Amino acid sequence: ISLRKLKKATNKFSNDRQIGEGRSAHVFRGILRNGQVVAVKRLKPGADRDADYDGEVGVLSRLSHPNIIRLIGFCAHKDTERIIVYEFMPLRTLYDLLHAGEQALDWDMRMRIGAGVAKGLSYLHNGANPRVIYRDLKPSNVLLDQYYHPKISDFGIAISVPADAQSSTVTVTELMGTHPYWAPEHALADRLSSKSDVYSFGVLLLEIIAGTVPLDARRPRYVADWVTLLISLKTITVFSFLFFFLNPASCIIIVLYGLR
């Protein structure tokens, strides 16, 4: 997609069209000439910009799954612009829904969102060709459409595993991702595999269930340790609003077992 068309779609990347900002990019709501509403990610200048752009476009262009964000187009204009265009997700991120929403999600909705993320992750590990290690699974990278259908987004640091690789474990030279969601083998060594993503998913699922971030200055414990303590003391009233729908205790125990 040409830069001219993207400028027109976003009213020249105006502030009133900006819907998000991250470490490496601004995100705008755009309207293409055919009326399609899209999310326009404009990467910030920096040493990693071209690598992030090439990596994300390269990975996403080979993926197709209901729980993976859909790539609409991209733009590399001279040395000045690197832009990626995605389908628009009106409910923003899972993080916004969990921690900034006006209404609490019921248990059924939380589990459907968790199951959708699991399906997307399973596709990356088992259905994609080549397979993909995502590396940065967290609520702010899970987007939701108007039906609360989750889609994994932001593939800037994802790694493709060659189809002929004897092992799904790869060696990395730089620790990347988001600290509270790192698997121990990734944080303490240079090894990375699909199991690292599964660990991150366990932390994310616990966050969905508990409604709290993994690390909180008001809570002296990491969320997995904190929930384990609450269960041992039989004081899991923090989840009481969920018990009106289904008993989440068994799901919590399963998640904690997977995080060992």
pLDDT confidence of residue 120: 98
Label residue 100 by pLDDT band (50, 70, 90): confident
Hey, is 37 helix, strand or coil? strand
pLDDT tens figures, 57-71: 999 999 999 999 999
- For residues 45 and 33, is the Cβ–Cβ distance under 8 A? no
Radius of gyration of the chain (CA): 19
> What CATH fold (topology level) applies to the domain 3-87?
Phosphorylase Kinase; domain 1 (3.30.200)
| CB under 8 A, 24+ apart: contacts of 210-216 | 210/238, 210/239, 210/252, 211/98, 211/99, 211/104, 211/238, 211/239, 212/238, 213/99, 213/180, 214/180, 214/181, 215/179, 215/180
User: Could you tell me which residues are annotated as the binding site?
Assistant: 41
Measured distance between the N- and C-terminal CA atoms of the chain, rounded to whole angstroms = 46
pTM: 0.83
- Residue 241 — pLDDT band, cuts 50, 70, 90? very low
Q: Which two tokens mark 111?
A: 């589990």
Q: What is the mean pLDDT of residues 33-49?
A: 94
pLDDT band (50, 70, 90) for residue 123: very high
pLDDT digits (tens, 9 = 90+) for 203-234: 898 888 877 766 555 555 555 665 665 556 55
Q: Please state the domain extents for the chain.
A: 3-87, 92-246
The CATH number corresponding to 92-246 among 1.10.510.10, 3.40.50.300, 3.40.50.20, 3.20.10.10 equals 1.10.510.10
- Residue positions in the annotated binding site for ATP? 41
27 vs 174 pLDDT, higher one: 27
161-216, pLDDT tens digit by residue? 877 665 566 665 565 667 777 777 766 656 778 888 998 998 898 888 877 766 55
- pLDDT confidence bin for 132, thresholds 50/70/90: very high
Give the other-Cβ count within 10 Å of 168's Cβ: 13
By annotation, the residues acting in catalysis are 136
